[in-house]
Structure 1
């Protein structure tokens, strides 16, 4: 048995932010002076664009010295007895501008879990103080550029990244950061009453979907086919159109839950047998071990339309096998008649 690399876990932006806030508050309560603390998000083996980012937490008695996100925002206000804490999005941390997310507009894009942890610590550490009114600014160095690699702008989180986290730990085995992003986009689309959501895999699929729907209803799922459909099913999405090329769709019909090559390759012997059984034609898989090559051979034989239909049918059957209640319809890009586009 081969030794498998143990993937490194990490901590969410929320965990790093809470740790930095705690240190900052502890220092301010001792010195009674404004304080700034910084932390660098540690590396891990997840698909995480925020790895290595620097998170800055500032605490002061006024907001005069804060560099805030230029988007209009209201502070998250927490009151405890006679004390209060206002939390603002600084440069590099996004502000929510649309409904449908865990945080309503127009507040800083800080998820409930880290926000609650910050408030709980503030309550504990200030329970013997009175009339303490603090302002907190959370910033991320280069956060605006990092955010361009996320779906933040599409769902209305502007000018920075979100401070995320539920359990506090990033689990790379499930590529949780990417799946969490997909989940957020699905929830957003449903909350904004999009009857049909589009899952796309690849640039061509995305471009076709963009010609038919608003980008807010289009979700690039990477290779996470099963995980994305599971989220959509659990969220009771009314209709999901899953678009991808015939190569990836062949993997789906063969039962691949993730279509990345590291999870395996197409079983061409099985594909050859299915073509023989369903189309009564034996392809020469020795001559071309690619789905595109097989498509070209079947096109010459006048069977390419039937081949596309076979792949589409089997992929949809596989999805129904995974999720009996799923409202997902798989369509391959090559089948123009099926697309009707």
Structure 2
């Protein structure tokens, strides 16, 4: 089975050991709302601010014709999101769903949308949505902080609504009554957004862990008796799924530094590039390959890969080394070398 949001592979044995009834579990996974971990436990995904705004916008347009209390919209990953709404006479409100991301301060935040009939589809930002005041972001300075992917998602949702009720277009103004208050608890102002939060999200779903690629947290590594050191965003995602009882910390290319302060049960987990080049810097020398990923794709069992992995496991000393592919499947594991 494949997770439709992060495209990772889900082994049958994970489903079998889960305490949730398999039909309900599989349905939830297919809808994108459940993340199944290797020990059979389940975490709840939420919807992004972009998906929630799209739901509110569509409901507001539909309510120009009649009240609606439940709406579904497309998401960037190709599956639909569905939420309960309140709507009447071109106005709709919806709360961003709860999720298991412990630091998502926008969950259960109320979104409002007001729609009027026009000749084309327009999206305006109301109170609580921030304005970009610096260059260098995805949106030009002076414009509302609605990123391109969610803006496309919102317009697609409005298009569905105008087609359903048979009008040419609609202008929808989206607002967040507590957006400015919530924004004070974020880093928005430091990155160039003032007056509210941003409408963001590339998949339409919120993963239930923090995948912020910030600096390596040395204190967190020291304090953790079970820790996974990983190298990037995909490594964070798959490490959380594969090792749910461990603290996952981004080490990036600072694996050696992280190992010096780590103790207890330590795992190095991630994609092959950084990890194998850390263990065997010369792995690509005298080969025709431009990257480790290309070499592995051509022949995972080659002598060069085996040598590189053995040297990596040796350099890791007491730490377990787990290499995954881009689908989250373990392809090399130092436990198998013992």
Instruction: Quickly name the TM-score band, shorter chain normalised.
Output: 0.3 to 0.5
Higher normalized strand content (fraction of residues)? 2
Higher normalized helix content (fraction of residues)? 1
